[in-house]
Amino acid sequence: MFERPSRKWFEQVLIVFLVVVVGFLVASNAYYQSRSGKQRTLFYQLEILRSSINLYKFINGRNPGNLEALAAGVYKFPNEEQTRRYIENAPIDREGKVIDPFQNPYFYDVKTGWIRSSTSGYEFW
């Protein structure tokens, strides 16, 4: 019958090279998709935290002492039985600090009420 010609060494090297390139492209795409998702999450978490700080200041007349107190704090509207949290489902690490999607704690200035991420590259968001 037909005899299958043996592959030359350069064909085998080319196939291995192509498999490595495709694997690299898939891995890098997955990394950037993950980073993009974390960036979006950071943006929305900062919006929620800043709104929660403003709500706390509106109700209590001062900024919260720290983010942990804000995350644990509750409030109630007049003529309403239900208590609500300032921050729902705040991401908290083992030390009790509120953390960003990159697993770094947020920086919070009590005087100004400004909050920012401690992750490099996202400090000014």
10-37 CB burial, b ≥16 within 10 A, e <16: eeeeeeeeeeeeeeeeeeeeeeeeeeee
CA 50, 69, 96: angle at the middle one, nearest 5?
Answer: 100
Q: pTM higher than 0.85 for the full model?
A: no
- What are 29-82's pLDDT values in tens digits? 887 777 788 899 999 999 999 999 999 999 999 999 999 999 899 999 889 899
How far, CA to CA in Å, does 46 sit from each of 7, 18, 56, 101?
A: 57, 42, 15, 11
- Extended beta strands in the chain, E state: 74-75, 84-85, 106-108, 115-117
